[in-house]
Amino acid sequence: MTQRKVKTSYPHPDTAAPSGDRPVALVTGASSGIGKALCLVLGRHGYEVAMIARGQAALENAAEEVEAAGGVPMVVPADVTNRNAHEAALDTILARTGRVDVAVAAAGLGYATPAESLDLERLQRMIDVNVTGFVNTIGLVLPHMVERDTGHIVGLSSLSGYRGLPGNGMYCGTKVFNRVFMQSLRMDLANTGVKTLCVCPGWVATPMTRGNKAKMQFVLDPDKLATKVYKAMVAGKSLLAVPHGLAEMTRFGLPMPDTLYDLFVGRRRMPFA
């Protein structure tokens, strides 16, 4: 779905002067995987990139790569689950840049939560980062964008956020939340200058999936995914579900009755499991 064309008040990244009035991006989960790959793409397109994650050393390493790619990184360590700390990080960013043009909520956790051995602590941790952290990032940045009537919110969901998968109940549940929350935001903001993009990838080769025992199919490269996200953002798309074939298969499974779906999916060993 393509959203209403709006005139952005921030300079277009491809035409921004190299050391001039750069557009500003805030990215969570910026030290690793998809978040880091997005920082690199945004940096390459001339953005000043405020990079948020907990681990300072990994953030600084990633920031060096962003700088080498031509971006202007800003390292802002924070735990997205802690609203006060996240708000303080945003205040630091706004004090320097005055605005955030693009906010990417990519911080996330993913691991198996099989029903036979549920561990409430592990379940809660995933809710804290994937749901509370996601909402903190968007909820803190959005008022500034709405006030300026311009901006772009990019939220990471997953193809796992369409229907339950065996052994992955909590991950799927949090990713459904991310996807559906982004859908509602899209509708709420349709008549404003703030755009939304929900990203639903299949498996991506990042530290999150590195230890998976089960075979992953159609695995995406994080840098290629980040380029697709950037293009989708510039094109004003509100949903990016990739890879295309797997996304189609996922959508095909949606109207299936449970008995049929369970037959295809229910006994499979899934990554994370």
Query: Which residues does the annotation mark as catalytic?
Result: 171
Single residue of 43, 75, 79, 239 touching ligand NAP by CB under 6 A: 79
Residue 22 Cβ vs ligand NAP, minimum distance, rounded to whole Å: 23
139 is a contact residue toward ligand NAP (CB under 6 A) = no
30/153 with CB nearer ligand NAP: 30
197/208 with CB nearer ligand NAP: 208
Instruction: Judge whether 238 and 1 are in contact, CB under 8 Å.
Output: yes
155 is a contact residue toward ligand NAP (CB under 6 A) = no
53 is a contact residue toward ligand NAP (CB under 6 A) = yes
The 8 Å CB, 24+ separation contacts for 210-218 are 212/271, 212/272, 213/269, 213/271, 213/273, 214/268, 214/269, 214/270, 214/271, 214/272, 214/273, 215/271, 216/271, 217/246, 218/243, 218/245, 218/246
106 is a contact residue toward ligand NAP (CB under 6 A) = yes
Single residue of 132, 206, 238, 250 touching ligand NAP by CB under 6 A: 206
> Residue 27: which residues within 8 A CB-CB, separation 6 or more?
35, 38, 39, 42, 49, 50, 51, 52, 103, 104, 106
Of the listed pieces 162-170, 182-190, 196-204, 230-238, which binds ligand NAP according to CB under 6 A? 196-204
Single residue of 23, 46, 71, 110 touching ligand NAP by CB under 6 A: 110
User: Which positions touch ligand NAP (CB under 6 A)?
Assistant: 28-35, 53-55, 58, 79-81, 106-110, 129, 133, 156, 158, 201, 203-204, 206-209
